[in-house]
A and B are shown apart, each in its own frame.
Chain A
Amino acid sequence: MKLINENKQLTRLAELMQSERNDLFRYACYRLGSASEAEDVVQDLYLRLSKQSARLAEIEDLKGYVYRSLTNSCTSMLRSRRNFTSTDTLDTLSSEDLAPKDFEQEFRLIERLMALLPDEQSEVIRLRIYGGRQFSEIAAICDIPLTTAKSRFRYGIDKLREALADRGLI
């Protein structure tokens, strides 16, 4: 019976990864700033999870587990980048920077904005905007109440609005 459950979970995992691949990939892209690294992380995640079939069988919210694992993988990868330090601040941001022309410029802009926020707020914003998650899903992924997920998003947006308005950029 357990084996059947494990196989079912593996099938569910493959189907889930396939249906969510664009959201997973986009989230990883805007977290890591690199499409090839994003593909590596998502693919690595699938291989890793598919080898844990026994554990998967015990997980009820597989989607939440996959996204939580992805956010952890991205964080680990960012930590392993020894030279990863962003020196750009919002003080040097111009209105031209607000209209990026390619992914690289767009990623740099978003990184500068997210750097203004506490990690817990930027994570909720990333999951909402780049991961395409509902607040109820974000609450499950981050293991926080629904109201907290919504308020973190709200506070984050407020802070960005104020920062941009203070600099006359919006």
Chain B
Amino acid sequence: MKTNNLDHYSDNRVADILSPRFAPSTNLEFKVTAPAPRRRFIWQFARVGGIAAVVAIALFVGIKGVQTSTAREVVERAMTQLLESDNCLVRFTANVTENKSSRELYDIDFDGTPMQGTVEIRKEGSKIKMAIKWQDQSSSMELYDGESYRRYQNGQLVLERPHGGIDLTPFSTIDKLNEYALLTGILLKFREEGDMIIVSTRGDKVGIIARFSKSEGRLLGAECSGLYNGQQVTVLTVNQIDFDVPLTSPL
């Protein structure tokens, strides 16, 4: 009998030792996919979504001077940096073809022609403007001013459409980004390889990979690629990203 009591006490002690006392908590949220928002987020801007995704990843993580321990912390701080900076400029090269529906100017296309461009994001008061400037013959510019979409060619307004703005709010914190990614089926993966932080996401057709130096706290490169005719083809490359630099022309 005594042994049984001892066993019982010991069992309780074992159970006590195994009991979780320091279990971390989570803010994960699971919801059935919500209807698409009227204002399009940066990831979604129509058929140039590849650019948006690469640029967004690059923007969120590609900041200078960050010395921290985890990839998620880098992203968190980078988002704060993005929201706090007055402007940023991203230079990219993309394989593009003309957008047939004219919703946007160009589509990212495996068969497309390489074209250089820049993405400028600028804060003006509470508004955020984003412009894609294409180095094509007519110097096209696509402007998202937070409320509407406008297209310029040679400085002249050629198209204006309401409800084409952007909203960076979903990316203001890692939790919001995760929630948004979950709603839209985007899964961001963070991986560390030595000094490199690799952020990746994969859709049905293309994958996006951005590489960053942890010690230097800067973007090393980002690209969007996919399988086409049995070959891995890169359709978009982010070449450089700068914060708080003088922008070339007014938006």
Residues of A within 8 A of B (CB): 10-11, 13-15, 17-18, 21-22, 25-26, 29-30, 35-36, 38-40, 42-44, 46-47, 50-51, 98, 100, 102-103, 106, 109-110, 113, 125, 129-130, 157, 160-161, 164-165, 170
Contacts and interface: CB of A to CB of B under 8 A. Distances in A.
Contact of A18 (B14, B24, B31, B190): B31
A21 B30 contact: yes
Given A17-B30, A39-B26, A44-B187, A165 B10 contact: yes
B30 A35 contact: no
Nearest to A42: B28
A18 B29 contact: yes
Nearest to B29: A18
Interface residues of B, number: 29
A106 B30 contact: no
A35 B26 contact: yes
A39 B28 contact: yes
A161 B20 contact: no
Interface string B1-33: 000000100110111011111111110111110
Contact of B32 (A14, A35, A47): A14
Given A98-B17, A106-B20, A164-B17, 14 more contacts: A10-B32, A17-B30, A25-B24, A29-B23, A30-B20, A35-B26, A36-B70, A39-B28, A102-B22, A106-B22, A113-B18, A125-B18, A164-B10, A164-B14
B56 interface: no
